[in-house]
């Protein structure tokens, strides 16, 4: 007997700007659409999102609502009580769990977690921390690692980026936001260049926070060895990451370092901060290095820049680790199971 069609309402804070929330929502939606699930998507980026959400709730009978980021979802619950009449799946994406929240944000998060029928986080560490805050929820909190998917797109060469073959490119796939701690990547690689002038830095991502972005771009103007490429289509990332040598993630907090994992899936070693969301992704000294501060990052960068054999060895181990632990099919399988489970809870 074939399963009935599931109709889902997906509510995401971001859709057009390429950042973690938008890429995660798009990847999950596309994967589940291939399984026959039908979606209506509302993005809070739209200036008329309140009208769109209201019309969607009036005009369609949804089997479940899938929301991303607990604070955003909690604020919506205060505006649309109809959302609580439908089984609710919440995917917590990182900053809603890891960063200190004000009273308003905390109340919104509490409302979302309480209303959700199921809550998804990206790793077991996040699950344990969430359960320590909200007692009695063990049966509805699930850890589902994000799957890694890089579509084929624009091919790149090192010459396209103005690189010589003997230069070592450190790439930071990240939007310009305070939480991403871009200045740590710049300072660490700048200090490493005192030992190895072949080091180059490439930053790829949208300028999201205006003042923070302006400060970062001002600093980069005086660093000819560092380049900010801006936001590019996700279809470019495979080509960009292939011509890089080492991937960085210097965040203060992460849900899961997806850009770093994409690079590791292509055989690139990683330098990650010991931030929530990054911890436990790699094994220090195996797939890359963990760093706490600028001195650690300098040392890791010098080490990797000096030894291609080490980069190749760690990169091979990184590729194998991603294939083993961050499978796209396993991610979509897990969400499909939750969707089918929740669809039977619909009154």
Give the Cα separation of 233 and 17 in Å (integer): 10
**Is 277 within 8 Å of 126 (Cβ atoms)?**
yes
246-281 pLDDT per residue, tens: 999 999 988 889 999 999 999 999 999 999 889 999
pLDDT above 70 coverage of the chain, percent: 95
Q: Which two structure tokens, joined as six digits, stand for 64? A: 């479940």
End-to-end CA distance of the chain: 22
Q: Which two structure tokens, joined as six digits, stand for 257? A: 């370092």
Q: Which two structure tokens, joined as six digits, stand for 60? A: 């369609």
For residue 19, what pLDDT band results from cuts at 50, 70 and 90?
A: low
Which segments of the chain does DSSP mark as H helices, in order? 20-33, 49-59, 70-79, 95-98, 103-115, 124-133, 182-192, 210-220, 237-242, 258-265, 294-306, 308-325, 328-343
Q: From the centroid of its chain, how far is CA 52?
A: 26
Least Cα distance to 68 among 27, 124, 129, 128 occurs for: 27
DSSP class of 293: S
Least Cα distance to 205 among 190, 227, 189 occurs for: 227
53-93 pLDDT per residue, tens: 888 888 768 999 999 888 888 888 878 777 888 999 999 88
Question: Has domain 159-325 been given CATH number 3.20.20.70?
Answer: no
Q: Could you tell me which residues are beta bridge partners of residue 176?
A: 207
Residue intervals in the chain for CATH 3.40.50.2000: 7-147+327-343, 159-325
Give the Cα separation of 260 and 247 in Å (integer): 6
Least Cα distance to 141 among 133, 149, 151, 152 occurs for: 133
- Alpha carbon dihedral 152, 320, 182, 214, in 10-degree steps, equals 0
285-337 pLDDT per residue, tens: 999 999 999 999 999 999 999 999 999 999 999 999 999 999 999 999 999 99
Least Cα distance to 69 among 106, 107, 109 occurs for: 109
Model-level pTM? Answer: 0.85
Q: Which two structure tokens, joined as six digits, stand for 332? A: 């979509």
For residue 14, what pLDDT band results from cuts at 50, 70 and 90?
A: low
What CATH number matches the domain at 7-147+327-343, 3.10.450.230, 3.40.50.1980, 3.40.50.2000, 3.10.20.30?
3.40.50.2000
For residue 40, CA distances in Å to 52, 60, 107, 302 come to 10, 9, 27, 49
Res. 2: pLDDT tops 70: no
- Count CA within 13 A, CB hemisphere, residue 90: 29
Q: Which residues of 27-43 are buried (b: 16+ CB within 10 A; e: fewer)?
A: bbbebbeeeebebbbbb
Helix axes 210-220, 182-192, angle to 10 degrees: 10
Per-range mean pLDDT, top range of 15-19, 72-76, 105-109, 158-162: 158-162
136-178 pLDDT per residue, tens: 888 999 999 999 989 888 888 999 999 998 999 999 999 999 9
Q: How many CB atoms are closer than 10 A to CB 276?
A: 21
Q: How many CB atoms are closer than 10 A to CB 170?
A: 25
């Amino acid at each position: 007997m074939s399963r009935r069609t599931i109709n889902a309402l997906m509510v995401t804070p971001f859709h057009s700007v390429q950042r973690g929330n938008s890429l995660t929502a798009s990847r999950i939606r596309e994967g589940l659409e291939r399984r026959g699930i039908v979606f209506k998507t509302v993005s809070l980026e739209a200036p008329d999102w309140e009208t769109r959400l209201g019309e969607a709730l009036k005009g369609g009978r949804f089997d479940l609502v899938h929301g991303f980021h607990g604070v955003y979802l909690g604020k919506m619950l205060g505006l649309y009580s109809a959302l609580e009449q439908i089984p609710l799946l919440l995917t917590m994406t990182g900053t809603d769990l890891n960063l200190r929240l004000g009273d308003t944000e905390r109340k919104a998060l509490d409302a979302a977690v309480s209303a959700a029928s199921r809550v998804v986080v990206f790793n077991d560490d996040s699950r344990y921390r969430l359960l320590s805050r909200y007692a009695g929820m063990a049966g509805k909190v699930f850890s589902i690692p994000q799957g890694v998917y890089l579509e084929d797109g624009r091919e790149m060469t090192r010459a396209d980026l103005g690189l010589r073959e003997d230069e070592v490119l450190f790439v930071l796939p990240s939007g310009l936001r305070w939480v991403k701690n871009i200045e740590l990547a710049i300072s660490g690689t700048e200090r490493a260049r005192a030992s190895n002038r072949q080091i180059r830095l490439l930053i790829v991502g949208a300028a999201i926070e205006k003042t923070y972005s302006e400060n970062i771009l001002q600093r980069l103007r005086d660093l000819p060895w560092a380049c900010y490429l801006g936001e590019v289509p996700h279809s470019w990332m495979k080509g960009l990451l292939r011509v890089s040598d080492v991937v960085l993630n210097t965040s203060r907090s992460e849900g899961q370092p997806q850009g770093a994992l994409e690079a590791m899936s292509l055989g690139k070693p990683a330098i990650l901060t010991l931030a929530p969301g990054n911890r436990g992704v790699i094994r220090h000294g195996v797939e890359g290095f963990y760093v706490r501060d600028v001195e650690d990052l300098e040392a890791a960068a010098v080490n990797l820049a000096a030894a291609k054999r080490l980069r190749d060895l760690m990169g091979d181990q990184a590729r194998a680790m991603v294939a083993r632990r961050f499978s796209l099919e396993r991610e979509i399988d897990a969400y499909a199971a939750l969707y089918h489970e929740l669809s039977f809870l619909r009154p």
